[in-house]
Amino acid sequence: MSTVLYDNPGPRARRVNRIVGLVAVLLLAVGLFWTIRLLSQNGQLEGDLWEPFVTPRYMELLWVALVETLKAAVFAIAGAVVFGVIFGVGKLSDHRWIRWPAWLVVEFFRAVPLLMLIIFIWTLYGLQLDKSFQSLVIGLILYNGSVLAEVFRAGINALPKGQAEAAYALGMRKYQVMTSVLLPQAVKIMLPSIISQCIVALKDTSLGYTILAPGLTTEMKSFWLTFQNQLPATLVLLMLYLVVNLCLEVLARWAEKKFSGGRKLNVTAVGVLGETEDEIAAGRVRATHANTGSSHGGT
Amino acid sequence: MDALTENWDLILSGFGWTLRLLGASAVIALVVGTIIAVFRVSPVPVLRSIAAVYVTLFRNSPLLVLMLITFFGLPQIGITFNNDIFIKTVVTMGLYTAAFVAESLRSGINGIPLGQAEAARSLGFGFGQTMTQVVLPQAFRNVVPPLASVLIALTKNTSIAMAFGSLELTFRSKQLLNEYATDRIIIFIAIATCYIVIVEVISFGAAMLERRWRVER
């Protein structure tokens, strides 16, 4: 194994590395021991604090809440893909009066905190409890849709110019070029980014907690209010989110390998466009040798 | 418009809160993120896996859930951070964002072609010279745009602090939206503009840095 940072270690370097590794393992072990001691000293390992999470009656409640959360994420992504296609294509339009509003909408929703957006939508609904789920989903659609619009635009721009030119030369219309030549090819490159965005959307469903939208996080609150098991409840909540997200990440990796040959779309952050816009427009897709995996840096 | 003219001081103090949260979390994120990134590219396998686990865990956790753990879970085992809301928030956001910082730094370093270091060594550069003259200057330049997006994401994430007692911009927006039912859209746009200003400053700064460090390749 060789990197820019150091040569292959010789015998002395290997010895040093082994010692450093050993020290790190020791420190980890001490940390683990200390954590367990802290947990047991404060009575957090008592069975009745954890019992609700293995009791069928309560597990069913959790399952219902998990389904609610997944539902929010699925609705959000489905809506976001539609929103993203419309505004992504809008940003590529030849007409200024379509391109600019599309640009404005996309940039605005990417720059505004999602939580503030969700709360705003909920106040428009008059803070009604039964509208909190809709508010969450609409907020997620607007935010993730704007991110996906950027992904779609970059994906279409990443295709070789010849594709569109050939299609025009065959006498296709703009609409046909987009729907039967560009989009089908671009979807392949975009798939990993779309799956990464699913992870972001799923993570953001937890924001529903602040507007009492039905879902895992809100449900967990009633758990810890009932059983006074704040630490176990929040840890189980984290585990549930981690399991689902890690599954999605594996899926994203697989899609990246299978459909886009390890290439990754280079979607710049909000506002950072100015400089790199031309590069994206020129259809440059940065292939990251580092294979950083899916970069769901959104939130 | 009254909502804004009567309450500009509230909005301003919210802006200050947001900036303080952003600044302090950013410092923690950059420091911890750099350490994790160094672990991630170090020659010691154990450190590499520790860093990999850290990054995977934090990147896949919802920030709000981490905040719940810090604010409701950890006090149960006596970790209270002196009951200081600000410190709790900033530590959680800093550790969360550190995972993203580490990833950006790592890909920046790994993005440098192997040949650069090899060429430097064949010219007789030592390790220190190779790093300071050849590898790191290029790595920094690679890292500016992704780091800027991490900071922008952090800016937006500070809004989550409103659910945990911070009186920052989003908290103020909620407060004003409830008080002034007729001016909702103006309030929303005004406070959104505050966020957009921060985002634009960060991206402008990043663009400046990038231009300054740009070299023809």
Q: What is the pLDDT of residues B174-203, one digit of tens each?
A: 999 999 988 899 999 999 999 999 999 999
pTM over 0.95: no
pLDDT (0 to 100) of residue B186:
92
Closest of A181, A296, A289, A184 to residue A249, by C-alpha? A296
* Helical H segments across chain B, by residue range: 2-6, 8-40, 45-59, 63-68, 85-110, 114-122, 127-129, 136-157, 169-179, 184-213
Q: For the segment A170-228, what is each residue's pLDDT rounded down to a tens digit?
A: 999 999 999 999 988 888 888 888 888 999 999 999 999 999 999 999 999 999 999 99
Query: Nearest chain A Cα to B170, which residue?
Result: A116
Mapped onto helix, strand or coil, the DSSP state of residue A152 is helix
Up-side HSE of residue B94: CA atoms within 13 Å toward CB? Answer: 20
Does residue A67 have a pLDDT over 60? Answer: yes
* Helical H segments across A92-212, by residue range: 96-111, 114-124, 132-157, 161-169, 174-176, 183-204
B159 with A298: Cβ contact below 8 A: no
Note whether A234 contacts B: Cβ–Cβ < 8 A. yes
* Cα angle value B49/B127/B33 (rounded, 5°): 35
Q: How many CB pairs under 8 A join A and B?
A: 216
Contacts of B75 in chain A (CB under 8 A): 230
**Rounded Cα distance, B141 and B210, in Å:** 6
CB B40, CB B102: distance < 8 Å = yes
Q: Which of B149, B186, B214 to mutate to test the interface with A (most CBs of A within 10 A)?
A: B149
Note whether A30 contacts B: Cβ–Cβ < 8 A. no
CB B29, CB B98: distance < 8 Å = yes
Helix (H) / strand (E) containing A128? none
CA-based torsion, B156, B75, B99, A248: positive or negative? negative
B149 with A297: Cβ contact below 8 A: yes
Q: Which of B15, B18, B57, B59 to mutate to test the interface with A (most CBs of A within 10 A)?
A: B59
pLDDT mean over B105-124? 88
Torsion of CA A252, A253, A258, A260, to 10 degrees: 80
